[in-house]
Chain A
Amino acid sequence: MPIIISDSQVVRDFVQKVEEISGEKFSKCMQCGTCSGICPMGAEMQLSPRHTVLMTKFGQKDRLLDSNTVWLCASCHSCLVRCPRGLDLPKVMEAIRQITLRTNENYLEPFEIPDELLEDLPPIAMVSCFRKHTA
């Protein structure tokens, strides 16, 4: 399905913000798709990692914030070590997460974690999850 991008959907501030938080330049990306191929969570993502870079470059804020992609990224860094252009995609994913979290919106509500899970959950599971998924 073709993706039609009109000027009205392009949020230039968003591109700038993601670049500022991630410290990465999207012009590095050559759209080879290596990141999408290696991503362990890629099958469940609504926008693949490669697509995420492309959509970010085009300032597609709404498409990105409406997609589950950055919330499924496990920050595993597999894409980073394999990207032929050395783009730090985990940092891009983090920047997009931060844009939502900094509006005080949680992806995960801690009190919704079922009680039966809590007892066995190691502290690093909770700390890392809250760091990534709560404001």
Chain B
Amino acid sequence: MTLGYYPGCTLKSHARNLEDSAIEALKVLGVETVELERWNCCGAVYSLADDDLIHQLAPVRDLIRAKDMGLDKVMTLCSMCYNTLARANLLMRNDEAKRKTLNDFMEEESDYAGEVEVIHLLQFLKNDIGWDKLKAAVKVPLKDLNLSPYYGCTLTRPLEVSIDEAVSPTIFKEFIEALGGTYIHSDHSAECCSSYQMISNPEAAIEAASKVVRSAEDQGADALALSCPLCEYNLGKRQVDILKKHDDLKPLPTFYFSQLLAVALGVDPLICRFELNPTASLELLEEKGVVEKVSA
């Protein structure tokens, strides 16, 4: 089986661990990813201004690439790319006047009316592979790992692009359980980690992010599982700043969901690029016997 794939900018730089692990894991499941030709940055956030069509061009061009390649579906890994592409797709499907303006403006491109479906890898695993088949393919069950999923904002909001039931999603729980891990509920699994505010308003951002870490820790999580490189930056990379402000919190490892998928499917941990995660993440997997000890 082949699957059209949109990577997005961050997966080619800071989040190779998200991309490489996902592609290898999909190979184990018999799925070859086909990267979109000439893809461009999606713009990272969907334009919320009704009169701003210029920022819709970037995501729509990506969708046109997918259509031109004859794909009926395009899979994303980054939650923000998923959200931006899925919303732009709905705009092209549902708003006749804007669709015409955008298509007319891009006269060099094929006309587009939302024909391609934008999906996130978690949806593909649930709907196209199926949890039972995934369970059967697991070689290294993530037993003894208490994992709290972090949906953040863009996988489930707004409702029309939610990858699951928006207010109480369970897709990430089902995923963790299919891999043999223990699901840990957190009240903050879909609360905002502060997103881009970590650059502009770091103090308020650290407070918002600390609540996510605290909630997961209070429920007994060993680690957070996430799908967004900006969430990973705020909750993983910048965790040192969270811990400085909140010295009662302990370090909480973070993983991309695709890294967990890959190690559970027996992919070589070197491919999962754990060196890009905060160090405690790999140590946790070694301690739980999920990967063999490689760190000194």
Contacts and interface: CB of A to CB of B under 8 A. Distances in A.
B125 to A, nearest CB: 23
A125 interface: yes
A81 interface: yes
Interface string A66-94: 00000110111110110000000011011
Interface residues of B, number: 45
Contact of A78 (B192, B197, B203): B192
B233 interface: yes
Interface of B: 8-10, 13-15, 41, 43-45, 48-52, 55, 78, 80-81, 153, 157-159, 166-167, 191-192, 194-201, 203-204, 207-208, 211, 229-230, 232-233, 237
Q: Which of B8, B44, B80, B158 has the most CB of A within 10 A?
A: B44
Contact of A75 (B45, B50, B203): B45
A72 B14 contact: no
A26 B191 CA distance: 25
Contact of A129 (B159, B200, B229): B200
A71 B41 contact: no
Given A22-B49, A80-B158, A98-B49, A107 B167 contact: no
Nearest to B80: A124
Contacts of B158: 77, 80-81
A123 B195 contact: no
A44 interface: yes
A30 interface: no
Nearest to B45: A128
A82 B229 CA distance: 26
A91 B204 contact: no
Interface residues of A, number: 40
A71 B195 CA distance: 12
Nearest to B188: A40
A122 to B, nearest CB: 4
A57 interface: no
Given A22-B49, A40-B194, A122 B10 contact: yes
Contact of B41 (A76, A81, A121, A127): A127
Contacts of B8: 124
Ranked 8 nearest A-B pairs via Cβ = A76-B192, A94-B48, A129-B196, A77-B157, A23-B50, A127-B44, A123-B9, A44-B204
A93 B81 CA distance: 21
A120 interface: yes
A21 B203 CA distance: 30
Given A20-B51, A127-B41, A129-B200, 6 more contacts: A41-B194, A72-B201, A74-B192, A98-B49, A125-B196, A128-B80
Contacts of A117: 199
Contacts of A120: 14, 233, 237
Contact of B196 (A40, A77, A78, A132): A132
A40 B15 contact: no
Contacts of A72: 197, 201, 204
Contacts of B198: 125
Q: Which of A23, A113, A121 has the most CB of B within 10 A?
A: A121
Contacts of A44: 201, 203-204, 207
Contacts of A35: none
Contacts of A126: 199
Given A77-B157, A128-B80, A133-B200, A122 B45 contact: no
B157 A76 contact: yes
B279 to A, nearest CB: 15
B50 A128 contact: no
Contacts of A95: 48-49
Given A132-B196, A133-B200, A123 B10 contact: yes
A123 B14 contact: yes
Contacts of B192: 40-41, 74, 76, 78
B86 to A, nearest CB: 13
A128 B196 contact: yes
